[in-house]
Structure 1
């Protein structure tokens, strides 16, 4: 039977850097395990780096135990359909795990599932099928609602397919522009790959063509590429978010956002090559310092933001509209005048390799469109 590769749905989650299963580009010192399904057995083939030795030429016993714990946790994800926590792990070392006999092969199978706990048997073998160690992991199983709401479990189905944007829609248009915008997604994990600043300036120029109340154009676009400023913005934003998660977020709110796999970590504020920060001008100033009224500034800037996101998408860039609350820290960091207030932070760049968006559906056209024509 051909084994089936298990997808890692956690790639792209904010702050994801698991020692056991994060790819090397997210944790260079980690194990970087990947998994496949072989019938009712979960398997992994793995080659260690030299730093995982104990005695010279022998895989460290602690690393062997960690390998077993990690594959057991993924067994819980894939076969039990939830997340859990290690209650105990017993390891028996059978034969020296010689580094020269890599890759090593891991197998995990279920011994017993009581509904509250799962007992999982694990075996580690070298490339000659010599058993190096065996283990028994006992996992406490969370309810699926708890696993999703508190621990970011994406659901068993996420491990078996690469999530795609839903194409279900009553809009059967084949217009390429419609297709282009149906493919737009917000990105929460950015590559550090650089962007063309001239492209970004051109997109801001497009945003500035948006309609505005009395043509007041009540907006300022701050383009931030400085690494130091991005670090300061991230630090303050994460402070604000931490307070919100600790004191203000409700259970309903956390459950509603569980599919987005978001938390207080906002690495995208540093990873994205640039941030565009939109400031709303509450009023303007004439050359003589005279106050100039601005009409419908929020609505006007909202339209400009839509123009900007669309222009960046057409240029091939990914974005993430982000609005921490409050975000008045931006006034001090960027030294903005008192007639402005922060409106939106927009990281711009490219999605990190391997990042996949959560599965989300857009409303069908017949749910959002009401047409009024002449009756005959």
Structure 2
């Protein structure tokens, strides 16, 4: 069982040790991104979000692809925070139950499977409306990777690899999710 530190307090992701990280899902530096922030809900990780017209599909409806992105972001960061290593998404399946409306707050809650017999890490996410109605679900499998093994695919220099490796290994509290004064 994973510890449940600071339930309800903002959770800082390890990537925040890189001064200018641009993750589409969680970086405060990416003006085109979602800028998700995370909190604990027991052993789960959650993100509250409201998407505007720039993320619209049909009039008034959030584009379905963004729903998958939100779920993947919360599940993937839960792995990083709880297991202290990064993992690539191998498969993801999203079920759309009800359309998400633009300019409406939702929350995505992710959990991990504790099945050690599986090579891939299994995760699940739900997107919930304000009244806790489930609007979408997503399940995914993730494959752990070592930063050194994927250097040629990442744009991290040696200093950033060292900072990120230390942040992952220690699970220490990080800067304000990458926002530097």
Q: TM-score, normalised by structure 2?
A: 0.77
1: CA distance between counterparts of 2:168 and 2:127?
28
Structure number with higher strand proportion:
2
The residue aligned with 1:6 is 11
- What residue is the counterpart of 1:82 in the other structure? 85
**Counterpart check, 1:161 vs 2:161:** no
The CA RMSD measured in Å over matched residues stands at 2.8
Distance change in 2, residues 1:162/1:16 (3 Å): closer
2:35 aligned to 32, 35, 39, which one? 32
DSSP 3-state at the match of 1:155: helix
Per-residue CA distance 1:139-183 (angstroms, 9 max, x = gap)? 00125875895994421544x5246xxxxxxxxxxxxxxxxxxxx
Q: Which residue of 1 aligns with 2:59?
A: 56
Q: How many equivalent pairs are there?
A: 163
CA distance 1:11–1:110, shift in 2 (3 Å): closer
Aligned position for 1:70: 73
The alpha-carbon distance between structure 1 residues 116 and 70, as it changes in their structure 2 partners (threshold 3 A), is: same
Gaps of 5+ in 1: 164-352, 357-376
**Residues 91 and 136, structure 1, Cα contact 8 Å, conserved in 2:** yes
The 8 Å contact of residues 61 and 99 in structure 2, kept in 1 or not, is answered as yes
Counterpart CA distance in 2 for 1:161 and 1:91 is 31
Aligned to 1:111: 113
Q: Label 1:151 to 1:12 Cα distance change in 2 as closer, same or farther (>3 A).
A: closer
Structure 2 unaligned spans of 5+: 1-5, 151-159
1:22 to 18, 27, 30: 27
Tell me the TM-score normalized by structure 1: 0.39
Q: Who wins on radius of gyration, i.e. which is larger?
A: 1
Q: How does 1:1-376 map to 2 (within 5 A)?
A: 2-11=7-16, 13=18, 15-23=20-28, 26-100=29-103, 102-114=104-116, 116-143=119-146, 152-153=164-165, 154-155=167-168, 157-158=170-171, 160-162=172-174, 354-355=179-180
